[in-house]
Amino acid sequence: MNTQNEQQLLWNSSAGNAWVDMQETLDQLFQPFEALLTATLPHGAVLDVGCGTGSTTLAAARRVGPNNPCLGLDISEPMLAVARTRSERARSQARFIAADAQHYAFEPAAFDSVISRFGVMFFEDSIQAFSNLHRAAKNGAALHFIAWRSPAENPFMTTAVRAALPLVPKLAATVDRPADAPGQFAFADAERVRGILERSGWRDIRLQPIDVTCTFPEQDLVRYFTQLGPLGSALRELDSEARTAVVDTVRAAFEPFVDGPTVRFVAACWDARASAA
């Protein structure tokens, strides 16, 4: 199975369903990035790549006003179903389509802004994907996305797998992946990201490292690490006794990030910006 098909299967089954279940928690966790992407968004048509359940797209729609179209694009039908429902309830102009930004036939020069909150690290061919996004952008359009830096700089994001690995050896395959393989940390190398953007036509490229404090309720922590990511998938294959042992071990490993009723950690990311030539 190729990478593209793997991503389609993952985000239309367990991963997509987990994000739907955790929508409110994840919206709170990533709210600082939503604010960063939309706070200075200029009026005009907006494309949100990897929009998930739609929070950032809806925020962009509120920012640019009802006369400017906002399109959210994702490959996950479960998440898009939630996004469409949220848009209808909010009476928003935002609309959503199921498509892969690497291959979708966008109307040429249709968007004034292209944004993404952790949605651009999963392409099979990143140069092809950003070239396609460049064709969809108007001359001078702004590209603005947030991506994770390295695993070493994001210990919270690797705690679950590191703690569970001695009890679930199959997780080693998720640790030993090539650094540039599609996935959460695929854009850790700033020079690689610059090269991708340059080769796909973007100019005025700026990558700024940012460290952002993120929080969510402690009562959601066990649900967070048992539903999301590689550990969430692995736990579904364990019997009750083994699952309990893993959950207890991992919960203890997260203790340094627990501050009373709140989970608090620093997200080490790239704030990446460019403009369409």
- Answer yes or no: are the C-beta atoms of 176 and 251 closer than 8 Å: no
User: In the chain, which ranges are continuous DSSP H helix?
Assistant: 3-11, 14-21, 23-29, 31-38, 55-64, 77-90, 126-136, 155-164, 172-175, 190-199, 221-227, 229-235, 240-253
**Residue 6 pLDDT grade (very low, low, confident, very high; cuts 50, 70, 90):** confident
Which of these, 218, 225, 216, lies nearest to 250 by C-alpha position? 225
* 73 backbone dihedrals φ, ψ, rounded to 5°: -125, 135
pLDDT-derived band at 1 (thresholds 50, 70, 90) equals: very low
Tell me the pLDDT tens digit for each residue of 87-129: 999 999 999 999 999 999 999 999 999 999 999 999 999 999 9
Backbone angles phi, psi at 270, to 5 degrees: -105, 130
Specify whether the CB–CB gap between 231 and 160 falls below 8 A.
Answer: yes
Distance CA 74, CA 99 (A): 6
Topology of the domain comprising 3-150+178-213+268-276: Rossmann fold (3.40.50)
* pLDDT reported for residue 168: 94
Q: Are 236 and 243 in contact (CB under 8 A)?
A: no
Q: Is the dihedral angle over the CA atoms 14, 1, 72, 27 positive or is it negative?
A: positive
CB 48 within 8 A of CB 116: yes
Average pLDDT over residues 237-265: 97
